[in-house]
Amino acid sequence: MKISIRKGLGFGLTSGIITTLGLMVGLNSGTHSKMVVLGGILFIAIADSLSDALGIHISEEAGKKRTTRKHIWEITGSTFFFKFIFALTFIIPILILSLQTAIIVSVIWGLSLLTIFSFYISKKQKQNPKKAITEHLLIAIIVIVVTHFVGKWISTIFV
């Protein structure tokens, strides 16, 4: 896999999973509304995917290492594509399961994907997979827990 595509995959997958799970868990804790959570996923898939793609595009342009325009656009496109696709995968459980079950299934799905990709990357870089997986899952779990409590807190303010 080309480095530009792998970068887009890594960024898109990680951001797509952590951002979407954080939003889903927070919105669920605050509203308990399937429509709100579904809308949030769609907004993340569109707006945040475009935003992250532009962010990585500008970051690559600003980097010290000189690269080609083609390389930059490959990273940009693959970041958008992968974040968009991974974010959209969280719609499936929302559509077919009760909201509470869908949230649990989504957390398991997201953390599993993050584990698999962390393992793949660590093996590719000849690093300790256990350390990489633990680090990445810890960050994701912190986001999930914090957004859960922020959602609960917000629900007490506006009820």
| 62-118 pLDDT, tens digit each | 987 778 889 999 999 999 999 999 999 999 999 999 999 999 999 999 999 999 999
* pLDDT of 118: 95
C-alpha closest to that of 93 among 115, 116, 109: 109
Residue pair 40/111 in contact by the 8 Å Cβ criterion: no
**Hey, CA dihedral for 128, 83, 81, 108, is it positive or negative?**
positive
Burial of residue 80 (number of CB atoms within 10 Å: 0-12, 13-18, 19+) = buried
pLDDT single digits (tens) 110-144? 999 999 999 999 998 999 999 999 999 999 999 99
Structure tokens at 124: 């590719």
Residue 159 has pLDDT above 70, yes or no: no
* pLDDT of 16: 95
